[in-house]
Amino acid sequence: MGELRKPFLLLALLAIALVVGLELGAAALTGGGDAGGALRDSAGRLGVELGDVGAVTEPSGRGTGHLALVDVVALWTTGLFALSLVVPDRIQGRVQGVATLVFSILLLLASLVLLIVAFVELTVMVSLFLAAPFGTLAYLAVWGFFPVGDAAVLLGLVLLLKLVWAALLLLAQPRFLQNKGLALLALTTLLCTVVLEFLHQFVPGILVSITDDLGAVVFAVVALIWALVLLIGSIPAIVKAVRTTATTSRPTTRAR
């Protein structure tokens, strides 16, 4: 199938690193706009008069940030491919299993904590929204004005970079397409991005924060599954590395 094309692999690593960076920075890139006027309009439609409305801002949401939990797996996998360019196979085989085990445990813990946070927030959102009229107003004041347009632009850029990442991996080595785990990972991350955009678009604007948080819960669960897959997959590599080390370190006896 040809040898590995290093420039394309390094560009793929850069593309997926940009994806994770954009997702982690989503809170700073979206939200924060003034939502005071929208709050007064919503209160009027509910028949509730408001006094002076202070600073009310659009929330940045959790969905895009939680999407990084899935994409960091793609970054880790691509990084391992790139590591093989500079680290001898003998050393990488001994280190990769342990490193993947540590990474999977950290991802497992982070995904579990963020899953709990997103689920609790989702429960609060739904409870407030259904407690009309004052609970609904409290919901609107905090989460009722999601920056759908800004999020769509960011997700569009993220999706484009993911497609570039996948294409560069194939250009680097067409045999990657035969790697079922990598193909499933690429499909998972692309599907999650499309699902989040769908969740932002198919409900009225005041409900987008709820569906965005629902997406965050789903992505945390998906990340938990991938963390378990990595953890289980790292065990045979560790066992093999231990056996190899034991074999090479065993003293040999000379025949007299």
- d(CA 117, CA 82) in angstroms, rounded, equals 34
Asked, for residue 70, whether it belongs to a domain, the answer is: yes
Asked, for residue 53, whether it belongs to a domain, the answer is: yes
Asked, for residue 178, whether it belongs to a domain, the answer is: yes
- d(CA 215, CA 156) in angstroms, rounded, equals 16
Residue type, 60: S
Stated length of the chain: 256
Phi, psi of 83 (to 5 degrees): -65, -30
Asked, for residue 26, whether it belongs to a domain, the answer is: yes
Instruction: Give the number of domains in the chain.
Output: 1
- d(CA 25, CA 129) in angstroms, rounded, equals 28
Asked, for residue 251, whether it belongs to a domain, the answer is: no
Asked, for residue 69, whether it belongs to a domain, the answer is: yes
- Walk along the chain (256 residues) and give the pLDDT tens digit of each residue: 457 888 999 999 999 999 999 999 988 888 766 555 555 665 555 555 555 555 557 777 899 999 999 999 999 999 999 888 877 766 776 788 888 999 999 999 999 999 999 999 999 999 999 987 788 888 888 888 888 888 999 999 999 999 999 999 999 998 888 889 999 999 999 999 999 999 999 898 889 999 999 999 999 999 999 999 999 988 877 777 666 655 655 555 444 4
Q: Domain range holding 73?
A: 6-244
What's the helix, strand, coil split of the chain in %, to 5? 80, 0, 20
